[in-house]
Structure 1
């Protein structure tokens, strides 16, 4: 059974009450439930964590190198746009990585147009709200299938 790690960065704990015009009214629990339903339906396991601090995200990604994680789906929040440490931790992984954002980062403030973490991800899904999370899980599983077929 493939194991997917779903990581959420700073402020995503505030979903449901944080600017619903941008992020929608879904809570973090709703987002995780949507992703988990997709994973379970595909015969995969979904582990999820949310951390407000960069160091905690880094520690979790380092652990993912050896704990049996098969793929990572990540919404690093604002860290997406400037955390080279997070980028480097993702780059160390030898598993599929899918970056996901509730809002369309390219239709927002200029600083959000750049994703330093996206440069080491296999793909980015943005702008579909909560629906982006099942899409990200599906993409991670498809990447795993392609890797398995290539070996």
Structure 2
């Protein structure tokens, strides 16, 4: 299975951010964790702090499933939402922190209605749960 992992702004700073919300792993460590945990699957990884770069990348995706942590753009970007809506492959939203139990502005979520499932609040385990979901659901689609 070809799985794209897309990460939004400030996730390149993991390991330096609030460890209570985001854990201690760097983004590279999370990516390696996925590769090591799901050896039989092919991953592509993309991170950008720029909304347009994320939209451009999402528009060109050719994969079986997507895990996206749009980060702050979850709460602000109709453009990312619209780019996600284009695709019919499975899409899963992840967040390291529990966005529903944080600041009020984080409760606005522009992408939740264009993804198949969401995992949040379990730090790097949210990514593992998302990939497990994609793998299990993909078995039934074939």
TM-score class normalised by the smaller sequence? over 0.9
* 8 Å CA contact retained: 1:39, 1:46: no
1:38 shift after superposition: 2.8
2:43 aligns with one of 39, 46, 51: 46
How far apart are the structure 2 equivalents of 1:147 and 1:112? 33
1:62 aligns with one of 54, 59, 63: 59
1:37 shift after superposition: 2.2
* 8 Å CA contact retained: 1:12, 1:28: yes
Task: Report the secondary structure of 2:66's partner residue.
Answer: strand
Worse-superposed segment, 136-145 or 117-126:
136-145
- Aligned twin of 1:22: 21
How far apart are the structure 1 equivalents of 2:83 and 2:11? 20
How far apart are the structure 1 equivalents of 2:38 and 2:53? 24
Task: Report the secondary structure of 2:38's partner residue.
Answer: helix
1:111 shift after superposition: 1.1
Alignment of 1:73-88 (within 5 A): 73-88=67-82
- Aligned twin of 2:128: 134
1:24 shift after superposition: 1.2
TM-score after normalising by structure 1: 0.90
Is the counterpart of residue 31 in structure 1 residue 25 in structure 2? no
TM-score after normalising by structure 2: 0.96
How far apart are the structure 2 equivalents of 1:38 and 1:60? 25
Report the count of equivalent residues: 142
* 8 Å CA contact retained: 1:38, 1:138: no
Q: CA RMSD in A?
A: 1.0
- Aligned twin of 2:117: 123
1:146 shift after superposition: 2.1
How far apart are the structure 2 equivalents of 1:110 and 1:39? 35
